[in-house]
Amino acid sequence: MEKSLVVFDCDGVLVDSEKLSSQAMLEMAADEGIVLTPDAALAFIRGRKVATWVAELETRLGRSLAPDFVPEFRRRAAALFTVALRPVPDVPRMLDELTVPFCTASSAPRDKIEHTLGLTGLLPRFADRIYSAYEVGAWKPDPGLFLHAARDLGVPADRCVVVEDSLVGVQAAVAAGMTVFGYAPPENGTAAVLGAAGAVTFESMAALPALLTTGPARRPVSGSISAR
């Protein structure tokens, strides 16, 4: 597989932040009278713009949330990141093994992306190759963020590979005309959904360099990759 750029999502792909973010959301939703299981809370926020899931909470409640709900959510999540955030397993080694340029394109604000990459020691690897939906004005599943990153780095869309863990991220990559690999460890339970949306799914970041080099049709990594 000959590609010129790998575009990584950040949350849940590079940094293991989504469970921590969903914990903060679950606690705040409970304070408002909405009870969610940890799995439901994680699915509720994965890959989504904060304003979107906040609006859905307000619909369930039938009223507006306090003006400081989002800032307080971000504060609580950041506090959890400071004490518990780690890279997604095998990500540092995987990045060391890549032979093509890479960047990150996330629906999160830039300050959050930089904060989480910094806490996990990954920030120097990305330098000025960080793209935020808040700066582009396009949130997944809109393909605009991925297309902007590709244009900025001078790479045609069909020469890009996107690595995502969310349905909206896979949809955005497909709409951008990019190959998309869906990170779907067994505990996420997302392989079928991501595969049906057009991703080649894989279970471990350790498998990604080989997948990028050979492509799933030529030599899948045993037990780690599922082409759909």
Phi, psi of 78 (to 5 degrees): -60, -35
What 3-state DSSP class applies to 212? Answer: helix
Amino acid identity of residue 184, one-letter, is A
Contact call for residues 114 and 130 (beta carbons, < 8 A): yes
HSE-up (13 A, CA, CB side) for residue 7? 34
Burial label for 6, CB within 10 Å (0-12, 13-18, 19+), is: buried
Residue 161, Ramachandran bin (φ over 0: left; ψ between -120 and 50: alpha; else beta) = beta
Q: Tell whether the torsion through CA atoms of 130, 168, 200 and 40 is positive or negative.
A: positive
Catalytic residue among 9, 11, 142, 165: 9
Is 96 labeled as catalytic in the residue annotation? Answer: no
Burial label for 75, CB within 10 Å (0-12, 13-18, 19+), is: exposed
Which residues have a catalytic role annotated? 9
